[in-house]
Structure 1
Amino acid sequence: MSIHEHVEELDGLPVYNFPQAPAETTALPEPGAVAWRLSVDPYDDEETFAERWQRFTETVELSGVRALVLGQWGESYEDSSAVVVDAVVAAKDRLTSLRAIFLGDIVMEESEISWIEQSDVTPLLASFPALRSLSVRGGAGLVFPPVRHEALRELRFESGGLPAAAVRGICESDFPALESLTLWLGVPEYGGDYEATDLAAALSGSRFPALRHLGLQNSEIQDEIAVAIGAAPVVAGLETLNLSMGTLTDSGAEALLGGQPLTHLKKLDLDHHYLTDAMVRRVRAALEPGGVEVVIDERGEEDEYDGRMWRYAAVTE
């Protein structure tokens, strides 16, 4: 997924934009053949999200819908996603085949990621016990108390700053089938008031026994996260580990190399890092001969001001 372009595929299905207005000449695809995208422009559209959603539910046979991509619901920097969550949940008895949801397919031209007002998204999990994939963009106002879901395989949050309570709720949830967890943790200036200790439940390995991919990304405390990863039981079961987009320095990389073995991984992504050339060589030498794909090409930008070196996470505002 990219914050610069709308998603083109979800759960293996091509995204189809539900038309802005009914047209007799428009032939809609079969309900289960596409991921249906619904979005309203608060300035150019004549319909509200509620009106478009109602027209969607009256036009498309909901029992066949497998995936939903939910974009702008109006002025998403003022109005929360609750209007979307409530609408989808209200249709749960008809959306019997729904398997994937992306809430917040909103690109930078529409709203900065830190401006997207989210809400409590856990009703989507409670209402759809067969859901396999949930992706959410935007961290402002995000609420996620601990939940249990038997079928969820992929959980993804993209943000400029995830609230600590939401991070703890995600990590303290029980997802026995979860294979992929991605958190763009963000920075304090945009709501990311979490600490590395808030990740403890997820790193224990007991909450997500099927986990094969872990992404703890886009953080200003990437070194602290790397230290926690170095001793985390969950790592032994992973195939891919992504610590990219943050402010990882040599001390964090040293913790990774000095912690539990990473040679079983298929891929380690450390892109957008702040490592020295010597450390980059050390990481490659330690892992690549054993077959680990190491992504460590892109170095983050840094500025020196008033005697201090400033380093930045990749996606904040």
Structure 2
Amino acid sequence: MAIGRHIEEFHGLPVFNVEAALADGKPLPPAGEVAWRLHLDYDADGSFEELWESFLAAVDGTEVRALVIGSWWGDDGMDPLTETLALIVRSAGRLPALRGLFLGEVTYEENEISWIQPADLTPLLEAYPRLEELVARGAYSTYGEVPPPYLRPLRHEHLRTLRFESGGLSGTVAQAIGACELPALERLELWLGTEWYGADSTVEDLAPLLDGSRLPALRHLGLENSDLSDQLAAALAGAPVVAQLSTLSLALGTLGDQGAAALLAGQPLTHLTALDLHHHYLSEEMRQRLEDTLGAAGTALDLSQTQNLDDDRPYVANGE
């Protein structure tokens, strides 16, 4: 299941394509009423920086609440995020109302998720201390090498939602989040990915997150798109953070009967309003056990997208 469609809403706002509107000379909506999508086609005239400056010249930047950054093609393909991110960081004074930012909102037809080259997000969070939602899609992975710092420990008072979408997430990202002070964080979603695309996260890397003490406001945890789903389920069965959650997700991964049995044998989960397990390898018998135990208690279960149970190598939903 590759990412084949662009999002239509972000940070509670409809997404509006800046490039198309500027090219066609169409009137622009009020700056605070949409999530502005900046996307540069591979054959577009000009650079992403020129598009960025045209955007800031055309709208009232002081009212912009959300940005969605799509492709940022350069002369030699889709460059690393480094320069584009630096451009956003330098513009912080022109975007004082920015609260939501999606980096790398790119479909597989434009660039595979494992080809989206990221950058250190720490300067961004430092430049935007009132940012509330950050989504980063790309190859935040290692491929057996020592990865650059994609995130360094910091304190951020206002971040409420943090999501990494990756086909192979470096364990250093989970370690850094666990070392951060994020007192307002309510939603954390990590696409951990598969070792085939650079994932090297371990349950040990996630231990500070599973403890929960450094994330007092956390109410939703997603450990998703992982080929370690059974191990993660076993860890969550006794993890202190689960008691403070309202919703939990192990979706998009390789969860099988072993992991589901560990969840059911662990601490009570009936306080959860929702448990998302879609894209799984659960038998019909196990799905029924979950319905009888949790569904009957009022937890909304997503058990859709049952995969082929005969697969010798279960796969995650988003790898390449």
With structure 2 as the length reference, what TM-score do the two structures score? 0.92
Distance 1:281 1:237 in 2: 26
1:189 paired with 2:192, answer no
**Deviation of 1:6 (Å):** 1.0
- In 1, Cα distance between the equivalents of 2:68 and 2:37? 4
Aligned letter for 1:34? V
Partner of 1:152: 159
Mapping for residues 84-123 of structure 1, pairs under 5 Å: 84-123=84-123
Question: What number of residue pairs does the alignment pair up?
Answer: 311
Indicate whether 1:11 and 2:11 are aligned: yes
**1:313 paired residue among 308, 312, 316:** 316
* Runs of 5+ unmatched residues, structure 1: none
Measured in 2, the distance between the counterparts of 1:37 and 1:26 equals: 15
Residue 257 and residue 303 in structure 1: after superposition, are their counterparts in 2 closer, same or farther (change >3 A)?
closer
Q: Which residue of 2 aligns with 1:220?
A: 227
Q: Which moved more, 1:140-149 or 1:17-26?
A: 17-26
Of the three residues 177, 182, 190, the one matched with 2:184 is 177
* Structure 2 unmatched ranges of 5 or more: 142-148
Matched residues in 2 for 1:65 and 1:103: separation? 16
Shift of 1:155: 0.5
**1:77–1:116 CA contact under 8 A, matched in 2:** no
Letter in 1 for 2:244: G
User: In the alignment, residue 299 of structure 1 is paired with which amino acid?
Assistant: T
Question: Distance in 1 between the 2:238 and 2:69 partners?
Answer: 38
Matched with 1:289 is 296
Matched residue type, 2:305: E
Shift of 1:310: 1.5
Identity between Structure 1 and Structure 2 (%)? 47
Inter-CA distance 282–90: structure 2 relative to 1 (3 Å threshold): same
Separation (CA, whole Å) in 1 of partners of 2:105 and 2:279: 23
Partner secondary structure for residue 196 of structure 1: coil
Deviation, structure 1 residue 20:
5.0
Report the counterpart of residue 268 of structure 2 in structure 1: 261
Q: Which digits, 9 at most, give the CA deviation of each residue in 1:209-251, with x for residues without a partner? A: 1111111011111111011101111100111100011111111
Distance 2:23 2:301 in 1: 50
Runs of 4+ aligned residues of structure 1 deviating over 6 Å after TM superposition are none
CA contact (8 A) 2:165 2:190 kept: yes
Q: Distance in 1 between matches of 2:173 and 2:83?
A: 20
* C-alpha RMSD of matched pairs (Å): 1.8
SS in 2 for 1:4: coil
Q: Distance in 1 between matches of 2:285 and 2:161?
A: 36
Q: Secondary structure at the match of 1:218?
A: strand
Structure 1 length as normaliser, TM-score?
0.93
SS at match of 2:6: coil
1:167, 1:256 → 2: CA distance?
Answer: 22
CA deviation after TM superposition for structure 1 residue 39, in Å: 1.0
